[in-house]
Every structure is written in structure tokens, then in C-alpha cells.
Amino acid sequence: MSDNNGEATPAPVEATPAPVEATPAPVGGPNSGTIRVGQGFDVHPFSEDPDRIFVLGGVSFPQAQGLVGHSDADVAAHACVDAILGATGLGDIGQLFPDTDPDLEGADSLALLARASDLLADAGWSVSNIDCTVILDSPKLAPHRIQMQDNLSEAVGAPVSIKGKRTEGVAGLAGGVQCHAVALVVAR
């Protein structure tokens, strides 16, 4: 029989300290208080189709020439979507709402903006505000500006401002309507 009574030679005490673990990457969203800015731009050309309705900021202008687009072609809503997605790195409007999706044909872009805002909220962000500049000669925005701002603000859940700018005769700008948007978002 063996005379070691089953005792194994004790393992030498390890002097090497346990490796220090790297600080894990934060999960579940951005750090609270993080502020980001995002920029969005959209343009749609005027349509020859007399049945297309011009929609801007959720307001319909039945007397105006409509814009070409898969959805309702609301450039203000689309620029706002890209601004908030850009600020948060959550993609862009084409990824979220592809113009090949038959379900989005003629879609109400305010609803798309609300869905994008919900996506931000789920990711831990809230929109502080969005400022838009729409470039067009007609129709006149001033009589409907408050309504457009109210519509967009309700969809986003934060203040959205709209400013109108004429093309000033610059070649190429009068063939459609453009919108630039800048958004500020904050991590909750």
C-alpha cells in the first residue's frame, strides 16, 4: 500500500494576484446626462401628379403642388427623424422606414416621427428640442407655422420650431422643397 495516506503534495500558494478585471462597457444605454447633437436633411421634388397632396409638418395644403415620395413626402418630419437618429447613432430614416416597404406607401410621416421618437426613448434618450429650416417659395408657411410646430412637437414629445426660407432665385432650389433640422438629445 502506499504510505502517503492519500495526501497529495499541497499546491504552492500562488502569489500572483487575480487579474484586475477591465471595467465593463456600460450596457443598457448611454450614461445619464450625455448630450448629443444631430443634423438631418431632406428634399423631395415637386410632383406632376395632380393627386399628390403637399404635406408639411403634418399640415395639408390642398391648393399647392404635391411632392414626389413613397410616403406623404413631409420633408420636415423626415429631416426631424434623421436629426434625432443621427444624434443617437440609431441609423437613418432609410434604414428604419425603407421606401421599398409597401406598408409605408402614403404613410403619415408624423406617425413615423413618433415611432422614431419611441425608439430613442427605448434606447435611453430624450429629445431636448429640434430646430428646422424649410426652403421653399410657395405655399406660404407663416399662416400654418404654429400648427406645423404643434404637430411636430406632439410627435416628438419636445419643442420643434419651423422657419421658412425662400430660394432667392438660386438655380435648382425651386424644383422641390428642402428641410434642414438640428436636434439636441439628452440621455436620461
Binding-site ranges for Zn ion (CB under 5 A) = 42, 78
Shortest CB 172 distance to Zn ion, Å: 18
Pick 42 or 183: Cβ nearer Zn ion: 42
Shortest CB 90 distance to Zn ion, Å: 17
Strand, coil or helix: 64: strand
Pick 109 or 153: Cβ nearer Zn ion: 109
Pick 78 or 145: Cβ nearer Zn ion: 78
- Residue showing cell 499546491: 11
Contact criterion met (CB below 8 Å) for 80 and 183: yes
Beta strands at 125-135 and 176-187: parallel, antiparallel or unpaired: antiparallel
Shortest CB 60 distance to Zn ion, Å: 16
Amino acid (one-letter) located at 8: A
Neighbours of 125 (CB within 10 A): 23
Distance CA 30, CA 36 (A): 10
Shortest CB 78 distance to Zn ion, Å: 3
Among all residues, whose Cβ is closest to Zn ion? 78
For residue 110, how far is the Cα from the chain centroid? 12
Pick 97 or 125: Cβ nearer Zn ion: 97
